[in-house]
Amino acid sequence: MRHKILVLAVLTAAALPISAQAQQRVIVEEGTTTGMAGVPVGGGIITETQRPRFRQYVVQEQVPSYTVDAPVAVGTVLPEAGVTYYDVPQQFGSTTYRYTVVNDRSILVDPRTRRVMQVIE
């Protein structure tokens, strides 16, 4: 009996680091998570290789730039009025995010919360 208890204790101790690691991710929306820095992981973002084509697409669409006084970064919540959001073309992947241009920077925004999810550099 002592042997079974000892084995159970060792297995429980071995599983603790795995469960602690899983708690380091935060759910942003169904199917999308962020790492510790709040950067989206997985679907819904423009990848590094897609960024030049996406920037070119935004320029071709002649999307006007909205000006805000504060710096725009991931996590910034945009004002309720005055910003127009546009659908991200399917060629850049399926996403619930929309894009816009703020302070001459293309960004992806969660339209439900108006929170900046990615700044396209």
CATH number at residue 48: 3.10.450
Phi, psi of 91 (to 5 degrees): -60, -15
Has residue 92 been placed in a domain?
yes
Is residue 49 one of the residues assigned to a domain?
yes
Task: Note whether residue 109 is domain-resident.
Answer: yes
By DSSP bridging, strand 40-41 and strand 65-66 are unpaired
The residue type of 80 is E
Q: Containing domain of residue 74, as a range?
A: 28-120
Query: Is residue 43 domain-resident?
Result: yes
User: What does pTM read for this prediction?
Assistant: 0.63
Per-residue pLDDT of the chain (121 residues; tens, 9 = 90+): 665 554 445 545 554 444 443 333 222 333 334 443 444 444 579 999 999 999 999 999 999 999 988 889 999 999 888 899 999 999 998 899 999 999 999 999 999 999 999 999 8
| Residue 10 counted as domain residue | no
Would residue 57 count as lying in a domain? Answer: yes
Residue 87 lies in a domain: yes
What SS3 state is found at 108?
strand
Question: How many structural domains is the chain composed of?
Answer: 1
